[in-house]
Structure 1
Amino acid sequence: MSTNSRWWFADLVLVVGLASFSGSIALTGLDGPLRVAFVLPLVLFLPGYAFISAIFPEAGNDDTRKFGSDKSEAIYAVGGPERVGLSVTVSVAIVPLVAAIANFTPWGIRVLPIVIGVLGFTVLSALGAFVRRWRVPANQRYSIGLPKLLFNSVGRHSNGSTTMVNIGIVISLLLVTSSVGFAVLSQPTGQQFTEFYVEGQNINSNTNTFYQSNLGDNGITVNVGNREGEQTQYTVIAVLERVENGSVTEQNRFDQQQVTVQSRQTKQVTLNGNPSLSGDNVRVRLLLYKGDPSGSPYRVIRLWLSS
């Protein structure tokens, strides 16, 4: 690692830039391996690296900060492999902590407050690291350098066994990252679903009724929330039915619309048309299909019409 580099703060600028980019990706509708690849650094490395950089601003060549009889051991400095390992460890601890704090806020455990919290922690830690390095003499500042970042422990002479240990650390970190990525990509199928519901001042949730006078004027608005893990096309159909003695005696399709919803997003669909059926014992049946309307509907909502 070069301790006289004029660009001793370059890694901190890079950390803030990558964290901001990863955070913006986490808030978009991007899915699949690309999302995992872009967001994982913010979860597994960047906040911890910024924090460790603030704790250890020196390159470890200050002879006044030693302990024991062996002057090659530094107490306040860590080398490249140690920084990488500590960065991952701290990051894995920071993200759940931010999520726990978010749980006690009005926003709850959602992507937005967690991303803002982790990003804020990373930026503040990077600023603290910048100030602490700036106050350290130029010949003692830590500045990143490859390949010494991964294969040079501070205060130790390089030898074959040390190199093998460092390589083992790097491989272990790669395995941890790969495991987390696999877990994110391999979500259980039971967690994939679509929200389909009606809400508004025209709905009486106690009796599950919809005021008939508003059906022709404003239509009926349904919410389609995609939690399927990928972009999905839906078909929404509204059907008016007259029910007598438990059987449908008359039926009329009210409206039909198609809508494409990105993953983790919710869209509203307003169904309008001529309510040809009126009177008592009339209900509106809302059908949701994935793709074209064929076979059994994916979700069904039944609302009785009230005059």
Structure 2
Amino acid sequence: MESDQNDLRTRLYRLRRSSLDLAFVGVLAVVGCFVVVSSRTDGSWLEPLFGLPLVLFLPGYALSVALFPTRTGVVASSGEHGAEPPTVVDGVERVVVSTVGSIAVGPLLALALNYTPLGIRLVPVMVSIAGFTLVAAAAGAYRRQNADDVQAARSVTDEQTILSRAKFALFDGGGSPALTVLVAVSLLAAGSTVVYSVADPDRGETYTEFYLLTDDGDELVADEYPEQFRYGHNQSVVVGLHNREQRTEEYGVVVTLQRVGDDNSTATETQVLHRYRTELAPNETDEDRLSLRPTLTGQRLRLRFLLYRDGIPDHPTAENAYRDLYLWVSVRK
């Protein structure tokens, strides 16, 4: 019983001692994610300070430990006494793999998010990178604890420089074959992602642009929206749509005029002024000039524009709309 307790204490001590770097990586990943996605730090020097390591180093480092858990050890010359070089990862290799792995992990996670409802947006990308780092760090801590801490490691001669060590480890057979494969695959994945992004620049976050324009006499502008209407008289507004959903979409637009309560939020009376449908191919734009005739009178009425996809419901509201816009207008007789 006492020997079991001593063994448990020993394992816990070894885990704490061998995984301090991974714990530090996990803390930095969480802090970096919070700093980048927090609106309180917009434009702050904290964003590059914590964000760049999260994107360019931390996930690759955690991944390298998970794949090659041996913490210490350096690469020996392959010709020394005819011995085979050990399959360990030294500091130079660790930095190389961490950087290359991070460069590959970030784009691949973003590419995966592109095919989910989350899309390629700041918060999902940062959270996914931080989450990947934490999972990889946990796996690395587990594997490192079970690694053979007494594995013999050979010394690198003093004459070798950092560059020669990295070259020998990565290209001259001094490192493990798995490490060379990892670096090659990471570079290939990163390069493929860049080529894919260049070849298909429009693929990314999917959304629909929904906007209002007015005619200033020479061109359509997003300014000088009408504020005064006359009851029974028509006034025009241009409703614009641009399809960035990466597929053909059928849209429905509903224009309502609402009388609202004292809280300027709850509609006490609503009348539909106009509705129409249109179908747009990917990256296609539609700008329709609508002639609106108010059917209510009063001050501070809400002229609301509701956008729907795949059909207009029986009772259109802002809550069930895909997008909505509104103007505050007055209608007099």
- TM-score norm. by structure 2 comes to 0.45
Higher relative contact order (CA 8 A, sep 6+): 1
- TM-score norm. by structure 1 comes to 0.49
